[in-house]
Amino acid sequence: MLLAALYATCLVVGVLVGLAGVGGILVPPALILLSGLEPHEAMGTALASFLPVALAGTWMYCRLGQVPRRTALPYMLGGLATLPGALLGAFVPAGPLVALLACTILFAGLCALRPPRPGGGSVFWQSGRGLCAIGAVTGLLAGMTGAGGPVLSIPWMIVVGVPPMTAVGVSMPYQIVTALFGTLGNARAGHVDFSLLPLLCGLELLGFAGGLALARRTPTSMLRRIIGVLCCGLGLFLLLRQAAA
C-alpha cells in the first residue's frame, strides 16, 4: 500500500512539473515517508530520478527559445557544486538533514503561494559570476537534500531580474547538471537505490508528458496554490515529526 502511494506521488509530481514547472520537491519526503529508505538514500534516489524529466524539459524549453546560453552556461557551471554537496551530505546526521529538507520545502511552498516579483537586482547578480554563484549555492543545497535545485534558484533568479519564463527554462539544463553530478556523489556514498530508480524515473516522465498535455487547460494560479499548500503542510509535518523523534 505504501509503495502504491509512492508510485502515485511520483506520477503526480511528473504531472505538476509538466503543468507548472515545479513539484519535484515532493519526491524526497515521499521516499522518506513511504519507501522505507533511510533519509540519505531517499534524498539521493530522489535527486537521481529528476534526470529524465530535466532532459525532456530542456528539449522543450530550447524549442521555445527560453534557454539563452549567456544565462544558462554560468548557471550550469555553478550547479557543479551539487557533487561536493552530495559528498558533504553523506557526513551530516539524518536528523539535521531532514530538518534542512523540511525548511527547503517550506520555502518552496511560500514561493508558490506568493511568487516573487521580478526586481531590478544588481549588475553583479545578472552577470555570469552572479548566476554562477546562485547556481553554486542552490546546487550545494540540492546535493545535500535531494531537492533538485530549481525550486530554490528560480525564485532567486526572478528577484534579481531574470524573466520568469527564462528562469524556468534555464532551470531545466541546470537540473541536468545537479541531478547528474549529485547522483555521482550520492552513488559514491552508496546513497542511491538503483533497484527503485528506473520505475520512479518512468513514472515521473509519464506524468510529465501528461502534464504537458494538460498545461493549456489548467489555470497556473490554481496549481501554484495547490503546490504551495502541499509543500507548506509537508514541510511543517516533517519538522514536527523530526522534533518529536
Residues 70-126 pLDDT 10s = 888 999 999 999 999 999 988 889 888 888 888 888 887 887 777 766 665 566 667
With contact defined as beta carbons under 8 Å apart, do 173 and 54 qualify?
yes
| pTM, rounded to two decimals | 0.84
Cα end-to-end span (Å), the chain = 24
Out of 4-13, 29-38, 166-175, 213-222, least confident range: 213-222
3-state secondary structure of 88: helix
3-state secondary structure of 93: coil
Q: What is the CA radius of gyration of the chain?
A: 16
Count of domains for the chain: 1
- Domain that residue 101 falls in: 1-244
